[in-house]
């Protein structure tokens, strides 16, 4: 597997912190909502509440972009929307292909959040010949054989993989070979990619497992004790605790909000793992 250890080539240190980048979409969404309500300006306190973060963090984040606010007043909504969009690269058109049109792929194809954010689904690709031509989200599914041509013809640089785990690496390799340099992976598999290619993974079951961890902890707390019971049972049960082999991937994120005053959601770290 790729061993690209070069994570962050110091050379680019002038950049915006990853944690901040990961929050920009959040701010953008909150700002877009304000914009639609024709709100002209917003304070860091208000915007932070809408985005679910605390104001100090928000101000710090914005400070990395530049000084776009006005002391004593707040931020100009429209101006900020533009600046953040530009910073994220959303002012340009990003054609993307979705490979693997199963339940999830179809859901993604129908997701409105793409188009409204500068992303354009250039093609839906699936390995099943029977699906070819079938319309999904108003667009015909194309066969995997066309993959390279589609990517070249549309200048696609971002690919979404929603195939079964077993096909993911192969699809990934073809996407990369065809020129894709950013991949959003939904398959529960660790993908190996050459240096220079970004991969972000999303795994539905991982999120649930993390919730289960905290849920379990809540229950134990309530009970008062901690007796993590089973210790003797461990050995015995160990043999078949697991089964199926598909599952999770990595991704963290969490949010937390509170009702009554303050609150802070949390931090999230991006992780684009380098091969």
Partner DNA sequence: ACTTGTGAACAGGTTCACAGCA
Partner DNA sequence: TGCTGTGAACCTGTTCACAAGT
In this complex, which beta carbon is closest to a second copy, that of residue 35 or of residue 148? Answer: 35
Q: Which of residues 122-161 bind a second copy (CB under 8 A)?
A: 157-158, 160
Could you say whether residue 40 binds DNA (CB under 7 A)? no
Instruction: State the DSSP H helix or E strand holding residue 165, giving kind and residue range, or none if neither.
Output: helix 165-177
Beta-carbon contacts of 11 under 8 Å, excluding residues fewer than 6 positions away, are: none
Adjacent-strand bridge partners of 121: 96
What CA–CA distance (Å, rounded) separates 21 from 177?
28
Q: Is the dihedral of CA 188, 209, 114, 272 positive or negative?
A: negative
The answer to the question of residue 217 lying near DNA (CB under 7 A) is no
Q: 3-class SS at 156?
A: coil
Least gap, CB of 145 to a second copy (angstroms): 25
73, 152, 177, 212: which one binds a second copy (CB under 8 A): 212
Q: How far is the CB of 261 from a second copy (least distance, A)?
A: 4
> At its nearest, how many Å lie between DNA and the CB of residue 98?
29
d(CA 259, CA 110): 32
CB 100 within 8 A of CB 109: no
Tell whether residue 102 is among the known ligand binding residues. Answer: yes
Shorter beta-carbon distance to a second copy: residue 132 or 184 = 184
Question: Cβ distance 68 to 75 under 8 Å?
Answer: yes
Size of the site for a second copy (CB under 8 A): 142
Residues of this chain that interact with DNA (CB under 7 A) are 5, 7-9, 12, 17-20, 43-45, 53-57, 59-60, 62-63, 67-75, 259-260, 263-269
Could you tell me which residues are annotated as the binding site?
Answer: 100-105
């Amino acid at each position: 597997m790729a061993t690209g250890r070069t994570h962050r080539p110091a050379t680019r240190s002038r950049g915006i912190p990853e944690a901040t980048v990961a929050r920009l979409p959040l701010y953008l969404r909150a700002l877009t909502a304000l914009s639609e309500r024709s709100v002209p300006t917003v304070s860091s306190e208000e915007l932070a509440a809408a985005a679910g973060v605390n104001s100090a963090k928000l101000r710090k984040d914005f400070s990395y972009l530049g000084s776009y606010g006005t002391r004593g007043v707040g931020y100009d909504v429209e101006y900020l929307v533009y600046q953040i969009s530009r910073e994220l690269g959303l002012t340009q058109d990003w054609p993307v292909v979705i490979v693997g049109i199963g339940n999830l792929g179809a859901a993604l194809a129908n997701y409105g959040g793409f188009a409204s954010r500068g992303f354009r689904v250039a093609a839906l690709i699936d390995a099943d010949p029977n699906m070819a031509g079938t319309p999904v989200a108003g667009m015909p599914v194309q066969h995997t054989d066309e993959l390279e041509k589609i990517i070249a013809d549309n200048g696609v640089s971002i690919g979404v993989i929603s195939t079964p785990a077993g096909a993911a690496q192969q699809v990934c390799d073809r996407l990369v070979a065809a020129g894709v340099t950013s991949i959003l992976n939904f398959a529960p598999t660790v993908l190996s990619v050459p240096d220079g290619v970004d991969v972000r993974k999303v795994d539905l079951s991982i999120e649930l497992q993390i919730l289960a961890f905290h849920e379990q902890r809540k229950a134990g707390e309530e009970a008062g004790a901690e007796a993590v019971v089973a210790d003797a049972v461990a050995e015995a049960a160990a043999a078949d605790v697991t089964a199926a082999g598909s599952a999770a991937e990595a991704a963290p994120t969490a949010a937390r909000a509170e009702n009554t005053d303050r609150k802070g959601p949390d931090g999230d770290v991006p992780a684009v793992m380098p091969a």
